[in-house]
Amino acid sequence: MAVAGVFGAVVLSAWTVFIAVNPFLYRAPLRKLGLMYDHRVTQLANIGEERKGIESLAEYIQVVPTRIFETYATLSFVGSLYLNLVLCVVGGYYLFSKAIAFLRHQSTDPTQVVLLSVAMTTAIPSLFTPADWDRYYILPVLFSTVAIAVGLGYVMEWIYCTVSRRYSFGVRANS
């Protein structure tokens, strides 16, 4: 129940800030938000051939992951799509499991809950535009890079633990 309350507070805060920074919305915010939406749909429908949009689900499935996990990714080379995707899934799983542990009161660190909440509310909506423009990939790439770094750290820790158990060595502090 507390999570729903926090989520409601975040949504209300975001709505209030969005209206506060858009004077156009001061009078009749719902009606004018509809006008803004209609204008955006018209604008996207009129994108020129040089800025072609994504036109089908099949194209979306091919283009968006390539842009996020290869074209604009930190680890960017031919074939990096699969490496980045796997590391992102591992990192996302780690973050999600830690967030669940916090929500079940098994942890006192809310970092993962905050990170995932911010990622979901900022990065995911930008993936629903039909435009294939660089700027729409900034936040998904940012948060996928964080998940990739977490995943890489998790894999490296797993390798270290596995090797150290097998060969019975440990890291000793320098004296």
Q: Report the alpha-carbon distance of residue 48 to residue 132 in Å, rounded.
A: 12
Q: Report pLDDT digits (tens) over 47-84.
A: 655 456 788 889 989 999 999 999 999 888 888 999 99
Label residue 105 by pLDDT band (50, 70, 90): very high
pLDDT of residue 138: 92
What values do phi and psi take at 59, rounded to 5? -65, -40
pLDDT of residue 175: 44
Contact 44, 130 (CB under 8 A): yes
Among residues of the chain, what percentage have pLDDT more than 90? 41
Q: Report pLDDT digits (tens) over 121-164.
A: 889 888 888 888 888 899 999 999 999 999 999 999 999 998 88
Q: What is the pTM of this model?
A: 0.69
Q: Report the alpha-carbon distance of residue 64 to residue 85 in Å, rounded.
A: 12
Q: Report pLDDT digits (tens) over 2-32.
A: 778 888 888 888 888 888 888 888 888 889 9
What is the Cβ-side half-sphere exposure of residue 31, based on CA atoms within 13 angstroms? 3
Which of these, 133, 33, 145, 29, lies nearest to 84 by C-alpha position?
145
